[in-house]
Amino acid sequence: MLGNFQRSELRIEVPATSSTIRDRLLSPSALKKWLFPQQVNFVSEDFLTVGTKFDTSFGILKVSSQVDRVNTQCLRLLLSNGVDGYHEWHWGDGWVQSRLEGVSLLPLNLYQTATLLRLRAALKVDSRE
């Protein structure tokens, strides 16, 4: 793949418990909501498990993902197409950490920052309900 190797790690505080964060990251219906305006296509609406594949797209950009690892506080996605690499999520009560590495023509740090901010905004709405 053409592009630059990029690496970024970000950690933010969020108003949510570990279990709420896990639900937002592992539920296809929740992912579709907070990742909007990205389009997310799942074959199954079951919680993400090892081997689950899905695509996200934003305009003409398409990234394919496959769940490589998942447990109560970690999700690792192998990425291909628009990004060749991985996206790893870790979380606990009140925080989320994202690590993104890959080769891409896209500015991955900008994408990662926007994604974390959308997740935090969704968790703030959840905490008010």
Q: Annotate 66-75 with b (16+ C-beta within 10 A) or e (fewer).
A: ebbebeeeeb
User: ∠ at Cα 35 (52, 76), nearest 5°?
Assistant: 40
CATH topology of domain 4-128: Alpha-D-Glucose-1,6-Bisphosphate; Chain A, domain 4 (3.30.530)
Residue 129 pLDDT: 65
Q: For the segment 32-87, what is each residue's pLDDT rounded down to a tens digit?
A: 999 988 899 988 888 999 999 999 997 788 999 999 999 999 999 999 999 999 99
CA distance 118 to 56: 15
Provide CB contacts within 8 A for 3, sequence distance 6+: 84, 103, 104, 105, 106
| Domain boundaries along the sequence of the chain | 4-128
Residue 60 pLDDT: 81
User: ∠ at Cα 83 (82, 87), nearest 5°?
Assistant: 135
**Reported pTM:** 0.92
Q: For the segment 3-16, what is each residue's pLDDT rounded down to a tens digit?
A: 999 999 999 999 99
Mean pLDDT of 98-115: 93
